[in-house]
Amino acid sequence: MSRRNINIVIILILGILFCSVCFSINISYKNENRIKQDEKSIIERQPIEQSLDTTTNNKNEIDTNIDPTSTVSYDLQTGIETIIPSKSYSKLNKESYFNIAEPIVNPSSAEKTSLIENSIKKSEDEIIINDVILPDDRERETSTTIYPLSTICKLYITAADNDEYHGSGFLVDSYHVLTAGHCVFIHDHGGWVRSIEVVPGKDFNNEPYGRAYYTTSRSYTAWTIDENQNHDWALITLDRLIGADTGIMPFRTFDIANPVYSGPLSVAGYPTDYPFIGSLYEGEFMLSSTESGVSVSDTIHWYNMDTYGGMSGGPVWREESPGNLYALSIHAYGNNDGTGLNHGTRINEEKFNRLHAWLREDAIPDMVKSDAGCSSSPVGGNRELEAWCEVRNIGSGETGEITVKYYASEDKKIKDSDTLLGKDTISSIPPLDIVKSSWKGHIYDLPEGEYYIGFIIDENDDIIEFDEDNNKGLCSSDPIKVRYDFIIQFFTSVPGFITIGSVALISIGTILVEKKLIVKR
């Protein structure tokens, strides 16, 4: 090999070595940068219990200068806080005015969302959140669209100072979520939270009902001012009627001595120790635990069910029989009071009454189609058309009497300028109930052709609703054919009598009798 060729080979080898070193340095830098990014993302979202100050343990003293059970509400859009004295509220019954309401509408698949990398490790001086009472009997729930798991919500919480947290809650009507007070008002992080994304029935990256967002929240001044654990509870108002698809969890209260509080109970929520602490997917799975309750005070409920950070706000419920269940308390704390038990805020008689009052303050109906149908083709002339619509009230207030109008349209968009066929008036619909409307009649004036039959509920907007734009629809996705009969008239002569008024006359010849022949197409 010539000297020149040897020099070329040496230069090529040196060039390859140089490129390899540069590539290794770049990969090392990228890996280091990725690790830093991962570490940053892992601490982005913490279990909501991390927001609690350790000095609040057993803090149950109340400022005697304030009314501890005054309602304090916060409107996210306006930023206005309003306080209403407790004496403004009256008593109600001990059973929630909603019956057990399982989902009726089949949920559509929601778009899958990106995973949120979350959680940090607990240090020894932080409030106790690892509330597993060994052995750990919690189970991962994968059938989260089955009632009542469908009512249990994952909360993505952003505090006023932009710190982010995991929490839980449960739907108590179409657009209200009951949760812990420290999920909506965080004392050491700016007070009222900046945002809450509510995801019912979440399982990993499956969000079967989509997301709703909080608009207003309510709690007690005992929590927002004193951070008193006896009153660590809150109600969130949402921007959509997501509970109409999920079903709702009823709530009840009993006397302290009632054995329901110490019998078999369940709790569920979204803990941050699953699949393991430090996982990028903490808080993305629903876990439940069923054990016995232990005891209650007027405001606190102690129990043996296993919980962990991120489950605050989840329901503590009792199931009497399949489908017959109700929430008794709101999970809020682990063993931070020396009892060795997990505990939450009991829905006592006073809170029960207040919760009803809060729900009624927001009570508003919303009418939608549950189902509909109409006669098959053809119709017209002697052939009647029958159209019907089942009206469902997915809101939280009663509707009052409702008028439903039925139209024939040349296209699938039903409007009040279409041909009015008729109308029907139906009785008032309670929340989450269904009443059927129908109309039946002859069609004589429509030109022959194909028409879509549809309806408009409360066309004049006489009833104030949550959403005024969901009251129209089709009775059938297929058009009907309007055809008329040919009527051939002819006469025949028969002997007999004719009657004029009350006088019978003998006809000189015959009586003309009209006959019709109907030819259908």
Q: What are phi and psi of 332, to 5 degrees?
A: -140, -30
The arithmetic mean of pLDDT across residues 177-188, rounded, is 96
Q: Could you tell me which residues are beta bridge partners of residue 154? A: 168, 199
Lowest mean pLDDT among 42-46, 114-118, 196-200, 423-427: 114-118
- For the chain, the average pLDDT equals 80
Lowest mean pLDDT among 206-210, 218-222, 439-443: 439-443
For residue 12, give the 3-state DSSP assignment.
helix
What whole-number distance in Å separates Cα of residue 169 and Cα of residue 238?
12
How confident is the model over 56-92, as pLDDT tens digits? 444 555 454 678 999 999 999 899 999 999 888 765 5
pLDDT at 21 over 70: no
Tokens of 28: 């090392």
Q: Is residue 363 classed exposed, middle or buried when 0-12, 13-18 and 19+ CB atoms within 10 A define those classes?
A: middle
Residues in the chain: 521
The arithmetic mean of pLDDT across residues 93-118, rounded, is 34
DSSP 337: S
Q: Other C-beta atoms within 10 Å of 455: how many?
A: 27
pLDDT at 115 over 80: no
**The one-letter amino acid at 382:** N
Of 139 and 336, the structure prediction assigns the larger pLDDT to: 139
Lowest mean pLDDT among 51-55, 103-107, 411-415: 103-107
pTM above 0.85, yes or no: no
The arithmetic mean of pLDDT across residues 253-262, rounded, is 95
Lowest mean pLDDT among 16-25, 149-158, 350-359, 432-441: 16-25
For residue 257, give the 3-state DSSP assignment.
coil
pLDDT of residue 313: 97
pLDDT of residue 42: 39
Q: Other C-beta atoms within 10 Å of 201: how many?
A: 29
What whole-number distance in Å separates Cα of residue 305 and Cα of residue 291?
5
The residue whose two tokens read 């609040």 is 56
pLDDT of residue 394: 92
pLDDT at 247 over 90: yes
What whole-number distance in Å separates Cα of residue 17 and Cα of residue 29?
18
How confident is the model over 377-430, as pLDDT tens digits? 788 777 889 999 999 999 989 999 999 999 999 999 999 999 999 999 999 999
What band does 351 get if pLDDT is binned at 50, 70 and 90? very high
User: CA–CA distance from 283 to each of 120, 220, 314, 453, 496 (Å)?
Assistant: 12, 27, 13, 48, 94
Q: ω into residue 275 within 30 of 0, thus cis?
A: yes
The residue whose two tokens read 């119709």 is 379
What band does 125 get if pLDDT is binned at 50, 70 and 90? very low
SS (H, E, C) 418-467: CEEEEEEEECCCCCCCEEEEEEEECCCCCCCEEEEEEEEECCCCCCCCCC
How confident is the model over 465-494, as pLDDT tens digits? 999 999 999 999 999 999 886 555 555 555
- Strands 287-296, 264-269: pairing kind: antiparallel
Asked if residue 378 lies in contact with residue 482, where contact means CB atoms within 8 angstroms, the answer is yes
The residue whose two tokens read 């929340």 is 431
Specify which of 110-114, 139-143, 319-323 reaches the highest per-range mean pLDDT. 139-143
